[in-house]
Amino acid sequence: MRNQRNNNSSFVTLLIMALIVGGALYVYFSATFERNKPVITLQNNNGYWNLKKPLQIKIEDDSAIKAYTVVMQNGAGNTTLVNEQLLIPKKSLLLNIKPPRGAYAMKDKEITITVQAKDVSKWNFLKGNDAVKEYKLFIDKKRPQVNIIENSYKISRGGSALVIFQAQDDNLKDLYIESGKKHFLAEPFYKEGYYIALLAWPVQNNSFRATIIATDEAGNVTRTYVPLYLKNRQYRVSKITLSDKFLKGKIANLAEDFEETQGVEDPLEQFKIINEDVRAKNNGLIHKYTSVVPQEMISSFRIRRMYPLKNGAVVARFGDHRKYYYHGKFISEAYHLGLDLASHAMAPVKTQNGGKVVFADYNGIYGNSPIISHGLGLYTVYGHCSSLNVAAGDEVAPNTVVAKSGKTGYAMGDHLHFGVLVQGVEVRPQEWMDKKWIKLNISDIIKHAKKIINGQ
């Protein structure tokens, strides 16, 4: 009898222990009792607030958020910006917290934002999990100051211009010149707070506008228009008829060299691929190398008149809009973005300005093509060369023979494709070959700007 009673007692004890262990395991593993605190994140903020744009605060929780509070603390005390009990708890919230009314008149240089969030978990004796996060923010309501010191009087379609300006802000973050989808970078110039930049009007665009954009850490933005007179220069449109001889000769030979045309048998399709896809790829390489702008401070920028091929005759002009037809049907089109010069076969190609060779290799339709950086985002390209006398990384002095003319790539005869680029945008080489243009638009602008900066 006693043994039976003992057995019953042991069974009850084991049952109770099992229930306790089971309950503990249920509490430990059940989502209802999850133990992770809500995660609070201040989005897109680096410690500054301009009291204009709302603060974005993200709150996430594994169970769900049932309440949150956002409080601002400044010299005047605490201000509750938002306090909400959610009727329907959510696992994720993105809050746009606006400053309180009258906050823009605050004199405080620093405030504290405190965010508190509570979830629906039954953990912590049914109280749930609490999270509190504090953010110290510097108040910056002042926009950057931008003053144009000097700039070129005008810019032509397909041409270049120079601007020198002052930009000041204690927390300056981004600074560039916006023109359509293109952002031109500025280089520090002469004294602290001053900048210089070359601009370019792409020949493919019918309009142009340049605006200096200065943004600080708090998101304050200043936009200053660069007052340039616009000369909408017209360029020739050429209608070119493709011959079978050309397609089965030059194009067929080129098609063997490009991976894009492998397996393509139709001569017209080969031409279209070379003229569009291969050209875009090769131009992309040029744009990649010529879009780099140094960020070291410079005090001067001396550039000499360019003429890379002695006694070279112009055989094709910059900006020519070429439209190709076959038996009267339109096939393809392209802009000629350089100046073609020809003299005698394998003529020496000289750079009148020193610089650094950033590329010297074969580049598809342009053949052997050295690219030289002359500073301030100005580059020169020499295409179709028969041989190269320089290598990438070389520093070249003025009047250095960098290559010899040729007919490599997409060239029908020995000549030089001479290209000039400003921050990855092809511009009229004729301007940079004109001593008077360089003086009026580059040298004089820099000279006058220095006098203004020096207070003369």
The reported pLDDT for the residue numbered 122 is: 81
pLDDT band (50, 70, 90) for residue 27? very low
- The residue-averaged pLDDT of 34-48 equals 89
Distance between CA atoms of residues 33 and 30, nearest Å: 6
pLDDT band (50, 70, 90) for residue 44? confident
Distance between CA atoms of residues 346 and 279, nearest Å: 24
Instruction: Give the single-character DSSP code of 182.
Output: E
Predicted confidence (pLDDT) at residue 438 exceeds the cutoff of 60 = yes
pLDDT band (50, 70, 90) for residue 138? very high
pLDDT band (50, 70, 90) for residue 312? very high
- For the chain, give every domain's residue range: 35-139, 145-232+447-453, 237-423
The reported pLDDT for the residue numbered 9 is: 65
Distance between CA atoms of residues 382 and 403, nearest Å: 8
Helix (H) or strand (E) holding 14: helix 2-29
Q: Does 35-139 match 145-232+447-453 in CATH topology?
A: yes
Distances (CA, A) of 210 to 154, 182, 184, 227, 449: 12, 10, 9, 8, 19
Distances (CA, A) of 421 to 58, 160, 202: 45, 9, 10
Distance between CA atoms of residues 384 and 419, nearest Å: 12
The reported pLDDT for the residue numbered 25 is: 46
Q: Which CATH number fits domain 35-139: 2.60.40.2470, 3.30.70.2740, 2.40.10.120, 1.20.120.420?
A: 2.60.40.2470
The reported pLDDT for the residue numbered 3 is: 56
Mean pLDDT of the chain: 92
Predicted confidence (pLDDT) at residue 5 exceeds the cutoff of 60 = no
The reported pLDDT for the residue numbered 131 is: 93
Question: In degrees rounded to 5, what are phi and psi of residue 270?
Answer: -60, -45
In CATH, 237-423 is 3.40.710.10: no
Helix (H) or strand (E) holding 452: helix 444-453
- The residue-averaged pLDDT of 119-140 equals 87
Model confidence pLDDT, tens digit, residues 252-299: 999 999 999 999 999 999 999 999 999 999 999 999 999 999 999 999
Complete DSSP assignment for 294-347: --S-BS----PPP--STTPEEEE-TT-EEEEEETTEEEEEEE--SEEEE-STT-
Predicted TM-score (pTM) above 0.85: yes
Q: Is 231 in a helix, a strand, or coil?
A: strand
The reported pLDDT for the residue numbered 179 is: 97
Model confidence pLDDT, tens digit, residues 191-241: 999 999 999 999 999 999 999 999 999 999 999 999 999 999 999 999 999
The reported pLDDT for the residue numbered 428 is: 98
Q: Which amino acid is at 51?
A: L
Count of helix runs (H) and strand runs (E) in the chain: 8, 30
Query: Exposed, middle or buried: residue 193 (CB in 10 Å: 0-12, 13-18, 19+)?
Result: middle
Predicted confidence (pLDDT) at residue 378 exceeds the cutoff of 80 = yes
- The residue-averaged pLDDT of 70-79 equals 92
| Domain at 145-232+447-453, CATH homologous superfamily | Immunoglobulins (2.60.40.10)
Distance between CA atoms of residues 319 and 340, nearest Å: 11
The reported pLDDT for the residue numbered 6 is: 58
Distance between CA atoms of residues 398 and 35, nearest Å: 71
Predicted confidence (pLDDT) at residue 20 exceeds the cutoff of 70 = no
Distance between CA atoms of residues 62 and 278, nearest Å: 51
Residue pair 162/149 in contact (Cβ under 8 Å)? The answer is no
